Amino acid sequence: MYENKRFLAVIPARGGSKGIPDKNIIDVNGKPLIQYTIDEAKQSKYIDRVVVSTDSEKIAEVAVTGGADVPFLRPDYLASDEAKTIDALVHVVNTIHSSSDVYDYIVLLQPTQPLRKHWHIDEAIETILEKKSTSLISVSPVKEHPILMRTIDENGGLKSLLNLSSTIRRQEFPTFYKVNGAIYINKIDSNFSVDTSLNDNLTPYIMGVEYDLDIDDFEDLKQAERKLK
């Protein structure tokens, strides 16, 4: 709890994973990948409950052993490739609130982001309340600047992504940020629904590029193992 507000952390961990089988619980330096996120969420000063949303009994067992709550399994219609994360989050909130366990904010922590630390979570929570915002998203400075990025038009010519001149020194490039997927916070109110676009959350929480790693393939996994050592 922080400033009399209750925070529910939800870690979505669907069983199906095509790129890396059992990705969410694959061993990374001696412990399941999801455990890194559970550990940091449990160390947060402000998170009141850590829930894993999964359709997999195997993942549920690992999560409970690791200290998270799995009060129910995700229904099949929320476990398909077409299911959206927001749908699973709304299901968690509605189900938990129906048992009179009510929260003010939901904190989405994706298990494929093992470099995120508990102080990031706490700083993000402090930020959303200080800004009196209804939503927050973590971002990191981009490494490859979009001022140098191009598309190819229908005539085969290069077209700039931005309406900005690139004939300036690199030191003068404006700062751009990318959504890094590590932390999303949303106020649980009448506007929080399946129509909520999480990537369009309003308030930024800036994280260093050294913490920006989303595990999608085996090369990402190797990089995570190196950094986590």
Asked if residue 146 is part of any domain, the answer here is no
pLDDT digits (tens, 9 = 90+) for 68-111: 999 999 998 998 878 899 999 999 999 999 988 999 999 999 99
Query: Where does the pLDDT of residue 171 fall: very low under 50, low under 70, confident under 90, or very high at 90 and above?
Result: confident
Pairing assessment for the beta strands 7-12 and 105-108 based on DSSP bridges: parallel
pLDDT at 133: 96
Asked if residue 154 is part of any domain, the answer here is no
Number of folded domains that form the chain: 1
Q: Residue 217 belongs to a domain with what CATH number?
A: 3.90.550.10
- Asked whether the predicted pLDDT for residue 210 surpasses 90, the reply is yes
Domain span at 113? 7-141+177-228
pLDDT digits (tens, 9 = 90+) for 148-159: 888 898 888 988
Query: What tokens does 201 get?
Result: 């959350």
pLDDT at 164: 74
Asked if residue 17 is part of any domain, the answer here is yes
In percent, the amount of the chain with pLDDT more than 90 equals 72
Asked if residue 40 is part of any domain, the answer here is yes
Give me the chain's average pLDDT, please.
92
pLDDT at 69: 97
pLDDT digits (tens, 9 = 90+) for 21-33: 889 999 999 999 9
Asked if residue 131 is part of any domain, the answer here is yes
| Nearest one of 54, 53, 51, 31 to 41, comparing CA atoms | 51
Asked if residue 29 is part of any domain, the answer here is yes
**Dihedral-angle region of residue 14 (phi above 0 means left; psi in -120 to 50 means alpha; beta otherwise):** beta
Asked if residue 160 is part of any domain, the answer here is no
| Nearest one of 20, 51, 55 to 225, comparing CA atoms | 20
| Nearest one of 180, 199, 204, 181 to 131, comparing CA atoms | 204
Asked if residue 37 is part of any domain, the answer here is yes
Place of tokens 């749908």: 87
